[in-house]
């Protein structure tokens, strides 16, 4: 690669973004961007691997220093952001850099990196999405309903904002991976992965 590729994957929780991202990195090399967050680690999460867990003060300082490619506060509680330096370094080294971020974040990234490849992963149906959220058994029903409603709003916003180059339905994980790999390979000028 003469220069890197920034791939932004978005989609509802439980739609398979992380699995797809890791398979693309296995095939094409590069890395998955690790976001910063002000929330505490949960169940086995590791600092620097799953997230960079930082204080509210550190997060605010990074916002002030324009150190994030994108950032937001989610559900009015915790803040999340993508550190610019790691992304810019990977791209400068010709790597594939993958971000798993929401639609609002993708809009911010698109303003800064208009040649990014934006892919929105869709569930086969809204009912399947609701079933997947419930089967994760991570939240109570009211939290699941809030997440489901937010996912519905994001899917509408994603279709309207002009940020995404493709919408891929994950009704078959292997097929969804192949579809996204073809998009990445075409952008990188590689068909061998």
Task: For residue range 43-64, list pLDDT tens digits in order.
Answer: 888 998 888 999 999 999 999 9
- Please check the confidence at residue 171 and state whether its pLDDT lies above 60: yes
CA distance linking residue 19 with residue 181, whole number of Å: 12
Number of domains in the chain: 1
Mean model confidence pLDDT for the chain: 90
193 part of a folded domain: no
| Residue 181, C-beta contacts closer than 8 angstroms, at least 6 positions apart | 23, 24, 27, 28, 193
25 part of a folded domain: yes
34 part of a folded domain: yes
The domain that contains 68 carries what CATH number? 3.40.50.300
Q: Report how far Cα 77 is from the mean position of its chain's Cα atoms.
A: 19
Mean predicted confidence (pLDDT) in 99-110? 94
pLDDT bucket at 179, cuts 50 / 70 / 90: very high
Distances from the Cα of 65 to the Cα of 48, 60, 84, angstroms: 21, 9, 11
Give the tens place of pLDDT for each residue, 5-53: 999 999 998 788 999 999 999 999 999 999 999 998 888 889 988 889 9
- Give the per-residue pLDDT at 13: 81
Helix, strand, or coil here: 74? strand
- Domain residues for 33? 5-188
């Amino acid at each position: 690669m003469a220069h890197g590729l920034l791939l932004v994957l978005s989609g509802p929780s439980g739609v398979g973004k992380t699995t797809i991202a890791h398979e693309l990195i296995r095939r094409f090399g590069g890395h998955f961007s690790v976001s910063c967050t002000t929330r505490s680690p949960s169940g086995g999460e590791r600092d620097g691997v799953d997230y960079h867990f930082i204080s509210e003060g550190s997060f605010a300082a990074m916002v002030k220093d324009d150190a994030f490619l994108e950032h937001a506060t989610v559900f009015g509680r915790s803040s999340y952001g993508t550190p610019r330096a790691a992304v810019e370094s990977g791209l400068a080294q010709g790597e594939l850099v993958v971000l798993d971020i929401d639609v609002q974040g993708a809009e911010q990234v698109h303003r800064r990196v208009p040649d990014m490849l934006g892919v929105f992963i869709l569930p086969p149906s809204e009912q399947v999405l609701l079933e997947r959220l419930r089967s994760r058994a991570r939240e109570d029903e009211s939290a699941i309903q809030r997440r489901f409603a937010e996912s519905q709003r994001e899917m509408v916003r994603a279709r309207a904002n002009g940020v995404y180059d493709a919408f891929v339905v994950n009704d078959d994980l292997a097929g969804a991976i192949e579809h996204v790999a073809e998009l990445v390979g075409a952008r990188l000028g590689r068909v061998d992965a």
